[in-house]
Structure 1
Amino acid sequence: MASLVRGVSSAFSGNRCLIRLLAPRIAGVGAILPQRLLHCEKYPQTTTLLSNMHQLHGWQYQILRQYFATAPLTIEFIRARVLLVVALYDKVDASKLTIDSHFINDLGLDSLDHVEVIMAMEDEFGFEIPDHDAEKLNRPADIVRYVADKEDVYE
Structure 2
Amino acid sequence: MALRAALLRHVRVPVRALNLTGRTSEQLLSGFGSLFRSMSSHGDHITREEVIERVLSVVKSFPKVDPSQVSPEVHFQNDLGLDSLDNVEIVMALEEEFKLQIPDLEADRIDSCNLAIEYIYNHPMAG
User: Which TM-score tier does this pair reach, normalised by the shorter chain?
Assistant: 0.5 to 0.7
Q: Which residue of 2 aligns with 1:9?
A: none
Q: Does 1:145 align with 2:118?
A: yes
- Provide the TM-score with structure 1 as the length reference: 0.52
Bigger relative CO (Cα 8 Å, ≥ 6 apart) = 2
Moved over 4 A (4+): 68-71
Look up the equivalent residue of 2:67 and give its one-letter code.
A
Q: Corresponding residue for 1:109?
A: 82
TM-score, structure 2 normalization: 0.63
The one-letter amino acid paired with 2:103 is: P
Q: Match for residue 136 of structure 1? A: 109
Kindly indicate which of the two structures has a greater share of residues assigned to strand: 1
- Count of equivalent residues: 86
Q: Given that residues 51 and 120 in structure 2 are in contact (C-alpha distance below 8 angstroms), is that contact kept between their aligned partners in structure 1?
A: yes
Q: Equivalents in 2 of 1:72, 1:87: separation in Å? A: 24
Structure 1 69/142 Cα, relative in aligned 2: closer, same or farther at 3 Å? closer
Bigger-Rg structure (1/2): 1
Partners in 2 of 1:120 and 1:69 — Cα distance? 20
Structure 1, unaligned stretches of length 5 or more? 1-67
1:99-132 CA-to-partner distances (Å, cap 9, x unmatched) read 1111001001001000000000000011111111
Per residue, is there more helix in 1 or in 2? 2
Identity of aligned residues (%): 40
For structure 2, the residue ranges without an aligned partner over 5 or more in a row are: 1-40
